Amino acid sequence: MLDTQTLFVALIPVLLAGLVAHIANSQIHRNSIALRWWGWGMMAQALGVVAIAGHEALPFFLAVLVGTAGLVGGQFMILQGMAVFSRLEVARAYYLTAGALSLAGVSFFTLAENSAPARFLVISAALIAAGRDRTCLSEADGAHRRGPSPLAVAR
């Protein structure tokens, strides 16, 4: 069975390929703020993956902290890019809630019980739980958006 480090080493080329594609796309669409957010999100995720994959070169807690911050922060940046692209706003409460839940869960599963799979489940659950009712997304003018998620349906 694969360990976490091997999985993350395998993910590095995939993330770097996506990053190169985003950089090329942002050169074509220079005025797109959404693409900038997506590109920065991909870079943050790549940094997080590299930190976790290379945890033997860094102190363990620092590798987990930088890795988690890169993964969660990258997801936040990608979400912000999708919101900008869809002409929506993401409530700050979403970022605070998801960030706090991620920090609490990752801290527990790093310090109290060292479990890499549990850390990633906590991050995923925090991102989903914080935005479960889609009130984290609203029209740029402040009106609540009804209907299918704007993240799944492009305008």
∠ Cα 46 101 147 (to 5°): 85
Q: What percent of the chain has pLDDT over 70?
A: 79
In Å, what is the CA distance from 93 to each residue of 11, 25, 49? 30, 31, 26
Q: Map out the domains of the chain as residue ranges.
A: 4-139
Is-contact 40 80, C-beta < 8 A?
no
pLDDT for 136 beyond 70: no
Would the pTM of this model clear 0.85, i.e. be above it? no
Task: Quickly list H helices, 54-111.
Answer: 60-85, 92-107
The residue assigned the tokens 């970022």 is: 95
Work out the number of other CB atoms within 10 angstroms of the CB of residue 21.
13
Q: What is the pLDDT of residues 23-76, one digit of tens each?
A: 777 778 778 888 888 888 888 988 888 887 777 788 887 888 888 888 888 888
